[in-house]
Structures are given as C-alpha cells and as structure tokens.
C-alpha cells in the first residue's frame, strides 16, 4: 500500500528512548505529530536533521506539534545520540523495520554501485485526527526543519478551524 496525504496514518507502537512504548494514538486529538524517519544515529545527515529539530522544538511545541524520530537503531544507540547532541524529543526504535515498511520508507537504495535496503529520509506531518497532512520525501537535512515548521504553522491556521 502506498501512503498518501489525506490517508489515515498507519498506527504503531514502538519502544522509545524514554524507556516507554509510544503509540501514535497517544497523540490523537492532542497534538500534531512530526514523524521523521532517518537512516542512522550519529551520521552526518541524520545529525544535521536531528539538531535542526532540536533547535526548533520549542517552536513546534508552540504550534501544538510534537517531534518523534524513527530509525532502525536500538535503544542504546538512541540514548547515546540523544545525550551527545542534547536532543529534547523522543527517538523510536524500529529494529524489525515494520513501521518503516508500513510507512513505505524501507526501500532499496544504492551507493557506489551496491544495492541495499535502508530508510528513505522522509517526514510525515500527522494531524490531530490521525490523518497524514503532508509528506516530505527525499528530504535534504539542511533547512528541512524550517520547511516542516512553515507547513505546521500553515496547517494550524488552515486545518484546525
């Protein structure tokens, strides 16, 4: 199934860096969810993206939005990444890649002529009603946070009336 804007977001429950399980339904009716999928903790592009969200997290909160990062990394890796870069939001561990697959971001990639499976850097903005409002595909880490925040402000003023 291909995920599209306007569709109900696939439900999930994943172990979080906070030590608890986090589900999408935890936020339904309460907050817009910025669900960003990234390939690997503490790598150049992923660090730029995570630090962008870190630096803007208060602005997202002001707009009634919560940031959740998802990668196949385990809890220990997430905790180190959070500590090293002082990330103030939850990272979710999708070690079996089921949520990545449900959202269509576990894809065939290639580098230096070699093919492998990996996470396509993608961000989903999920409304308080559980529907996908916006999908940012083929994300470039530099400036991405501003792009997402602009959409969230637009969505809050347009969809939340």
Active site residues: 46
Residue 140 CA to residue 161 CA, distance in Å, equals 31
Q: What share of the chain is helix, strand, coil (3-state, %, to 5)?
A: 35, 30, 35
Environment class of residue 112 by beta-carbon count within 10 Å: exposed (0-12), middle (13-18) or buried (19+)? exposed
């Amino acid at each position: 199934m291909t995920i599209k804007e306007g569709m109900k977001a696939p439900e999930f429950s994943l172990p979080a860096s906070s030590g608890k399980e986090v589900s999408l339904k935890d936020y339904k009716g309460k907050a817009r969810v910025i669900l960003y999928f990234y390939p690997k903790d503490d790598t150049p592009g992923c660090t730029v993206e995570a630090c962008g969200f870190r630096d803007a997290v208060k602005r997202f909160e002001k707009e009634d939005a919560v940031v959740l990062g998802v990668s196949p990394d385990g809890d220990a890796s997430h905790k180190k990444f959070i500590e090293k870069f002082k990330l103030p939001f939850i990272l979710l561990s999708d070690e079996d890649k089921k949520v990545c697959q449900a959202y269509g971001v576990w894809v065939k990639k290639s580098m230096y002529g070699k093919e492998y499976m990996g996470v396509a850097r993608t961000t989903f903005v999920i409304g308080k009603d559980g529907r996908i409002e916006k999908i940012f595909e083929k994300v470039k880490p530099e400036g991405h946070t501003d792009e997402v925040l602009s959409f969230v402000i637009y969505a809050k003023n347009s969809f939340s009336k």
